[in-house]
Amino acid sequence: MGTNDCNLQLSICNVLLAATAVIASAEAARAAGTSIAQVIDGVQPKIVKIYGAGGFRGMEAYQSGMLVSSEGHILTVFSYVLDTEYITTTLDDGRKFDAKLLGADPRLEVALLKIDAAELPYFDLQQAIEVEEGARVLALSNLFGVATGDEPASVQHGVVSVKTNLTARRGVFETTYRGPVYVLDAMTNNPGAAGGALITRRGELVGLLGKELRNSLSNTWLNYAVPIQQLRESVEAIRSGKFVSERDEKPEEKPQRSLDLAMLGIELVPNVLERTPPYVDRVHPGSPAAEAGIRPDDLIVLLGQRLIQSCKSLRAELEYIDFEDQIKLTVLRGQELLELTLQAK
């Protein structure tokens, strides 16, 4: 059997498993009366389908999100899907909106989008609860991109197998997030499911479905959700102007002498694309960057508390910093985030 045949059979199996999960959830709702069905109907309008970048090496250009304000704030995972100027979203009623990436916290791998809408149903993050092992839960998401318009999000039902901490799995599951997670017995680790909502059977918000995560030793997938309690502070920080992706329309004045990469001793990879990721190509010996511990192949993700998505945006942000000012760069090295302090000489 060829590789393509195996991949096709695997995709078919995944779709069948997803369909089985949805059917099982519906059967569970009927068995329990109308209450669970009503809960699902009440939550569906809060789930968002997100479309953006993808296609490279078969990567899907879609994921899920949840409304967290009546004004159109959407909580989702921070992934390559958002690495584009053209993010589109589809609500439960089929309405489509262009979305703006307000900001992201790469340490938690979460992002906040904004659409131009009002009076929307939403999850109140302050009302989210914690659950214990054995809790029966529902996971809502647009796994496999099944829903494209006003179709409902897919629903899976399952149990919280364990609440554990990813710091105990360093080097096994490759992720920058190292905090607590709910490990689930539902197969939520499928394309498109990331950013979906984990709720109780009463409709209470519990967690955000995590990105696809593979155990590098056993080659198995981890089905998990991040507790909302871990994300509240970051969401509020983004809404208040931290970890933002771009400056306001009326930027502050630039200093007479701005900081630049040459003063720091950093050379980035060639800027061949509009959004070339800001990887460090070379560090000059004896420079502030070398003394701070920056290395080639480091990916710069934050300048202070401002999100950096490209070589172009990093250079633009440095123009607003005086050459005498100390700065903090957060870099991704492998799967570890490091915060380093630099000052030009």
**How far is residue 133's CA from residue 184's CA, in Å, rounded to a whole number?**
10
**How far is residue 85's CA from residue 171's CA, in Å, rounded to a whole number?**
33
User: Do residues 40 and 138 lie in contact, with contact meaning Cβ atoms separated by under 8 Å?
Assistant: yes
Q: Is residue 162 part of a domain?
A: yes
Residue 33 pLDDT greater than 70, yes or no = no
Stretch among 144-148, 186-190, 215-219 having the lowest mean pLDDT: 215-219
User: Do residues 229 and 127 lie in contact, with contact meaning Cβ atoms separated by under 8 Å?
Assistant: no
Residue 157 pLDDT greater than 50, yes or no = yes
* CATH, residue 328: 2.30.42.10
Give residue 337's pLDDT. Answer: 84
Range of the domain at 309: 261-342
**How far is residue 165's CA from residue 222's CA, in Å, rounded to a whole number?**
13
Both 50 and 173 in one domain: the answer is: yes
Both 169 and 270 in one domain: the answer is: no
Q: Is residue 120 part of a domain?
A: yes
Give residue 83's pLDDT. Answer: 85
* CATH, residue 165: 2.40.10.120
Encoding tokens for residue 39? 């809960």
- At residue 76's C-alpha, the angle toward residues 146 and 140, to 5°, is 45
State phi, psi for 225 to the nearest 5 degrees.
Answer: -140, 145
Give residue 59's pLDDT. Answer: 77
Residue 272 pLDDT greater than 80, yes or no = no
Residue 193 pLDDT greater than 60, yes or no = yes
Both 218 and 291 in one domain: the answer is: no
Q: Output b/e per residue, 83-115; b: 16+ Cβ within 10 A.
A: bbeebebbbbeeeebebbbbbbbbbbbbbbbbb
Both 281 and 338 in one domain: the answer is: yes
- The mean pLDDT of the chain is 85
> What's the half-sphere exposure (Cβ side, CA atoms, 13 Å) at 227?
17
Both 171 and 102 in one domain: the answer is: yes
Both 83 and 228 in one domain: the answer is: yes
Both 292 and 165 in one domain: the answer is: no
Both 27 and 176 in one domain: the answer is: yes
* Average pLDDT, integer, range 328-334: 89
* pTM score above 0.95: no
Q: Is residue 175 part of a domain?
A: yes
Residue 22 — very low, low, confident or very high, per pLDDT cuts 50/70/90? very low
Residue 10 pLDDT greater than 80, yes or no = no
**Where is the domain boundary, 239, 270, 285?**
239
Q: Is residue 251 part of a domain?
A: no
| β partners of residue 209 | 225
Encoding tokens for residue 251? 């930027």
Residue 143 pLDDT greater than 70, yes or no = yes
Both 63 and 203 in one domain: the answer is: yes
Three-class DSSP category at 114: strand
Both 195 and 93 in one domain: the answer is: yes
Three-class DSSP category at 54: coil
Smallest CA-to-CA distance from 97 within 79, 121, 73 is with 73
Residue 17 pLDDT greater than 50, yes or no = no
Residue 249 pLDDT greater than 80, yes or no = no
Residue with tokens 């997803």: 18
**How far is residue 96's CA from residue 221's CA, in Å, rounded to a whole number?**
32
**How far is residue 264's CA from residue 304's CA, in Å, rounded to a whole number?**
15
**Where is the domain boundary, 185, 205, 239?**
239
Give residue 175's pLDDT. Answer: 66
Residue 12 pLDDT greater than 50, yes or no = no
Both 115 and 155 in one domain: the answer is: yes
Q: Is residue 302 part of a domain?
A: yes
Q: Which residues contact 23 (CB under 8 A, 6 or more apart)?
A: none
Number of independent structural domains in the chain: 2
Residue 305 — very low, low, confident or very high, per pLDDT cuts 50/70/90? confident
For residue 326, give the DSSP letter: -
Smallest CA-to-CA distance from 211 within 186, 192, 232 is with 192
Q: Is residue 252 part of a domain?
A: no
Q: Which range scores top for mean pLDDT: 120-129, 146-155, 245-254, 311-320?
A: 120-129
> Length of the chain, please?
345
Q: Is residue 256 part of a domain?
A: no
Encoding tokens for residue 168? 């105990």
Both 284 and 220 in one domain: the answer is: no
Q: Is residue 255 part of a domain?
A: no
Residue 178 — very low, low, confident or very high, per pLDDT cuts 50/70/90? confident
**Where is the domain boundary, 175, 205, 239?**
239
What does the pLDDT look like over 88-116, one tens digit per residue?
Answer: 999 999 999 999 999 999 888 899 999 99
